[in-house]
Amino acid sequence: MPPVLHGPVLDALGRRITAGELPAGAALTLDGIGAEFGVSRTVAREAMRLLEGLGLVRSGPRVGIVVLPHDAWNVLDPKVIAWRLDGPGRASQLRSLTELRQAVEPLAAACAARGATAAVRDELVGIARQMRKLGEAGEGDGEEFLALDIRMHELLMRSSGNELFSALADVVAVVISGRTHLGLMPAYPEPVALDAHEAVASAVATGDADAAEEAMARIVREVRGALDAGAPPTR
């Protein structure tokens, strides 16, 4: 894919705004953007349109491009989420997203238990087995364990039969990855987490929706507990 010119501009501005470096009410102009990034007004305009579509800015004659307050942002858009997970609000964003996971993943697991294909059920069981092996070997904070963890949650979300849950699969993947790379992951995972992952896999494999939901709720509760312990609420 050719690196489209407005891409870097959009990215830079998006980061600045979501990081709070450009606070609500701050004003930009197309000429200013064009001059700073060395691009034409047209490119600056396209980046601005995208930002407008994300609810980050509003533009009007004479006023230029004004940054909107954060409650106007499309906080569910993957781009916005990615930007915020990079900036200073990382911990807070991780907490919000984990809360969303807490709401969605148990139900998604229940749906998957009802609708997953045989291939998916098999893969889940295999993943859970490997996770236990790695976890008991002290590789609970390694990349391989992380990949399995992500794969399992992604499989569950995408097999839920609900496109809205599927759309959240990438977000969940980023959150899981963020937790590991923030160093919140113990080298030896809590046995309760390994048990719960196995329980989810076998519940989905046998089509037991209630058990899958309950086991997944245990997983997410543990995640949230670890997060709170590592970074106490600052609200």
Partner DNA sequence: CTCGCTCATTGATAACATCATTGCGCGGTG
Partner DNA sequence: CACCGCGCAATGATGTTATCAATGAGCGAG
Residues of this chain that bind a copy of itself (CB under 8 A): 6, 42, 45-46, 49-50, 53-54, 70-71, 74-78, 96-97, 99-100, 102-104, 106-108, 111, 161-168, 235
Question: By C-beta, is 70 or 132 nearer to a copy of itself?
Answer: 70
Question: By C-beta, is 54 or 201 nearer to a copy of itself?
Answer: 54
Query: Residue 126 binds which entry of a copy of itself, DNA, none, with Cβ cut-offs from 5 to 8 Å by kind?
Result: none
| Closest distance to DNA from the beta carbon of 41 (Å) | 5
Query: Residue 185 binds which entry of a copy of itself, DNA, none, with Cβ cut-offs from 5 to 8 Å by kind?
Result: none
Burial class, 60, CB count within 10 angstroms (exposed 0-12 / middle 13-18 / buried 19+): exposed
Query: Residue 77 binds which entry of a copy of itself, DNA, none, with Cβ cut-offs from 5 to 8 Å by kind?
Result: a copy of itself
| Closest distance to a copy of itself from the beta carbon of 49 (Å) | 5
Q: Do 112 and 204 form a contact (C-beta atoms < 8 A)?
A: yes
Q: Do 117 and 163 form a contact (C-beta atoms < 8 A)?
A: no
Query: Residue 100 binds which entry of DNA, a copy of itself, none, with Cβ cut-offs from 5 to 8 Å by kind?
Result: a copy of itself
Q: Do 86 and 93 form a contact (C-beta atoms < 8 A)?
A: no
**Residue 22 in tokens:** 């450009």
List residues binding DNA (CB under 7 A): 2, 4-6, 28-31, 39-43, 45-46, 48, 59-65
| Closest distance to DNA from the beta carbon of 80 (Å) | 21
Output DSSP code: residue 67.
Answer: E
| Closest distance to DNA from the beta carbon of 84 (Å) | 25
Tell me the one-letter amino acid at 97: L
- Could you tell me how many residues make up the chain? 235
Q: Do 207 and 114 form a contact (C-beta atoms < 8 A)?
A: yes
What DSSP assignment string belongs to 13-61?
Answer: HHHHHHTTSS-TT-EE-HHHHHHHHT--HHHHHHHHHHHHHTTSEEEET
β-bridge mates for residue 58, sequence order? 66
Query: Residue 97 binds which entry of DNA, a copy of itself, none, with Cβ cut-offs from 5 to 8 Å by kind?
Result: a copy of itself
| Closest distance to DNA from the beta carbon of 72 (Å) | 16
| Closest distance to DNA from the beta carbon of 59 (Å) | 4
Phi, psi of 67 (to 5 degrees): -75, 135
